[in-house]
């Protein structure tokens, strides 16, 4: 993928970011949400088991008279859902961490690229920062794209806030 700066625009692939609209450029390691994936799997497993047990109780009456088709269907669906949840957890647990360069804008958009060489991304941070101060700068480099599910990775700053209400994220 191409990362290019020309005519006061930062191009990441086919996405354009005006240089004057860039709020922050930085590198960080994008880690998978492994703990959350395990906790989500345990919650889902408990819910699947509870619902299957609740639906099984009334279904046991026909099964006592020899018709266990509905009972088998319930547990077949429960096992299928459980396998789906297991695969979802394994995808997150087996995901690797990525060292990435992120470009945040004043709005809600963020551009993310990666490289096999972390020092290369650190140099790019300096070059993009220089281009923000010097809009006539031209730059063209090749980087790697990264596609990820935001629900599977920690992304951005983590802020722990204790007490209070109506916090708006401004320092006094």
Per-residue pLDDT, 166: 60
Q: What is the pLDDT along the chain (172 residues), one digit of tens a residue?
A: 888 888 888 988 888 889 888 989 999 888 899 999 999 999 999 999 999 999 888 766 665 666 677 788 889 999 999 999 999 999 999 998 889 988 888 877 788 888 888 899 999 999 999 998 887 889 888 888 777 666 666 655 554 455 556 655 555 4
Is residue 157 included in any domain, yes or no? no
Per-residue pLDDT, 48: 96
Q: 107 exposed, middle or buried (CB, 10 Å; 0-12, 13-18, 19+)?
A: exposed
> Distance (Å, rounded) from C-alpha 91 to C-alpha 38?
11
Question: Residue 51's domain spans which residues?
Answer: 34-93
Q: In angstroms, what CA-CA distances link 92 with 19, 37, 81, 84, 149? A: 34, 7, 17, 13, 10
Is residue 27 included in any domain, yes or no? yes
Residue 17, SS3?
A: strand
Per-residue pLDDT, 135: 78
Residues 25 and 104 placed together within one structural domain of the fold: yes
Residues 111 and 88 placed together within one structural domain of the fold: no
Q: Which of 93, 110, 127 is the last residue of a domain?
A: 93
Is residue 80 included in any domain, yes or no? yes
Is residue 22 included in any domain, yes or no? yes
Residues 88 and 7 placed together within one structural domain of the fold: no
Q: Which residues contact 38 (CB under 8 A, 6 or more apart)?
A: 89, 93
Residues 86 and 114 placed together within one structural domain of the fold: no
Is residue 159 included in any domain, yes or no? no
Is residue 7 included in any domain, yes or no? yes
Residues 87 and 114 placed together within one structural domain of the fold: no
Per-residue pLDDT, 124: 92
List strand residue ranges (DSSP E) for 31-151, in order: 98-105, 110-114, 139-142, 144-145
What's the CATH number where 134 sits? 2.30.29
* Contact between residue 9 and residue 131 where contact means Cβ atoms under 8 Å apart: no
Is residue 162 included in any domain, yes or no? no
* Contact between residue 10 and residue 16 where contact means Cβ atoms under 8 Å apart: yes
Residues 7 and 87 placed together within one structural domain of the fold: no
Is residue 117 included in any domain, yes or no? yes
Total number of domains constituting the chain: 2
Residues 75 and 63 placed together within one structural domain of the fold: yes
Residues 41 and 89 placed together within one structural domain of the fold: yes
Residues 23 and 45 placed together within one structural domain of the fold: no
């Amino acid at each position: 993928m191409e990362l290019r700066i020309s005519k006061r625009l930062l191009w990441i692939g086919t996405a354009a970011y005006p240089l004057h609209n860039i709020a922050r450029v930085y590198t960080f390691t994008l880690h998978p949400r492994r703990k959350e994936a395990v906790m989500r799997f345990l919650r889902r497993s408990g819910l699947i088991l509870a619902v299957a047990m609740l639906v099984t109780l009334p279904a046991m009456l026909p099964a006592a008279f020899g018709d266990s088709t509905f009972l088998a269907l319930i547990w077949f669906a429960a096992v299928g859902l459980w396998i789906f949840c297991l695969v979802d957890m394994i995808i997150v647990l087996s995901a690797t961490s990525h060292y990435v360069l992120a470009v945040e804008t004043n709005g809600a958009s963020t551009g993310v690229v990666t490289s096999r060489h972390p020092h290369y991304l650190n140099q790019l941070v300096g070059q993009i920062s220089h281009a923000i101060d010097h809009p006539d700068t031209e730059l063209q480099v090749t980087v790697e794209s990264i596609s990820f599910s935001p629900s599977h990775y920690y992304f951005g700053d983590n802020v722990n806030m204790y007490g209070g209400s109506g916090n708006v994220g401004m320092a006094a």
